[in-house]
Structure 1
Amino acid sequence: MWDTDSGQLIHQLKGHRNYVMAVAFSPDGNGQKILSGSVDNTLRLWDTDSGQLIHTLEGHTDDVTVIAFSPDGQKILSGSVDNTLRLWDTDSGQLIHQLKGHTNYVTAIAFSPDGQKILSGSVDKTLRLWDTDSGQLFHTIRGHTNDVTAIAFSPDGQKILSGSVDKTLRLWRGVNWQEWLKEGCNQLQFHPDLVKHDKAAEACLKYAGWDDQAKAEFGERQSLSRE
């Protein structure tokens, strides 16, 4: 870490066992924490003032390629060559969710401006939109013909921008994830696998707009599936 005005070295942060792929400051006032991701399969969280290691976040089974803090700094997101994203609690360093779905390694990640959604891009040519609270997949966005390399939300969170090895950028309009989720939940409402999948069921009960009777009947099917 370097001082911007003088160019002098402030701290040398040692601990990773292989080269570092990604770094970020936490979004609080003066960047009180530093996050790093490495080819050693770990993330490390450091104290900015002292340079001391706070947490080593272990769980990925291959290179950590991309990292991000949530807008409020309370969560950490990582993507890896192991095809997964992982969501972590900043304070404890504990894993919250493992997001599975991509079929090739993850190249780009982003939180929505309100922190409620997660976006990922991959060598599998897709973008995927996830619910932060439940870890449930909202939608798979297809159209690129080669690796997705860069992604971003618009400031209002209503549009998604992506860039690819196919030499194009694509702007995706009308990112109404609740409508996508509602449609999927309604299609799968009576499917036996939905009631058995706690995270998916939680997202449907929270966002799908079912009335009290539909929620009660779904709850009964959940109970029967656990007997």
Structure 2
Amino acid sequence: MPSVLIVDDQVLIRSGLSALIRATQDLDVCGEAESGEQAVELAAQRRPDVILMDIRLPGMDGVAATERILATAEPPQPRVLMLTSYDLDDHVYAALRAGASGFLLKDTPPERLFAAIRTVAAGDMLFAPTVTRRLIETYLDRRTPAAPTPAKLSPLTDRELDVLTLIGQGLSNLEIAEKLTISTATVKTHVNRMMSKLDLRSRAQAVAVAYETGLIATAP
């Protein structure tokens, strides 16, 4: 049963999310934190499978807390699902680069919340390919344009480049397997090797790298 750590500085939101999740039969709440600092502490103590992390927190914000948690967590690392009030929050790209596995609006209906938690707990990213592309293009467009850096991808084999490209397009392991006509186990092996070579902690970071290096064009 996936365990969930809830991080939000508003007690009513924490309590509401906790009550909703506890009412399910296949999800459990292992703790609540009101700050980024407390989230880092509880994540180390409770080792949740999923962290619902408010992107905007006083003091250490959700992005910094996510980066700290994922940098210090022992395997298996928790999956971080960022909570934001706006789908184009200025911190979204930073959270993606820090290793967040997805984003969820605070007004999301309960059933979608539960599905999102299950999705990231299973190791997939939350958003659909079209949403992935819109978010990343928006935030890369706001950054200073840089020339593609194919040298960063030189350690990868051709097949690993194929897999990275498809991850960048938002495809799941099953979809990649169907696209490349290989088994899901083989896809998983390629994903693990690719992420190890590029020193990545999550599929979300792999998506960002696919765009940053020019492997996927950010504009037609």
TM-score (norm 1): 0.30
For the pair shown, the structure with the greater C-alpha radius of gyration is 1
Higher strand share: 1
TM-score (norm 2): 0.31
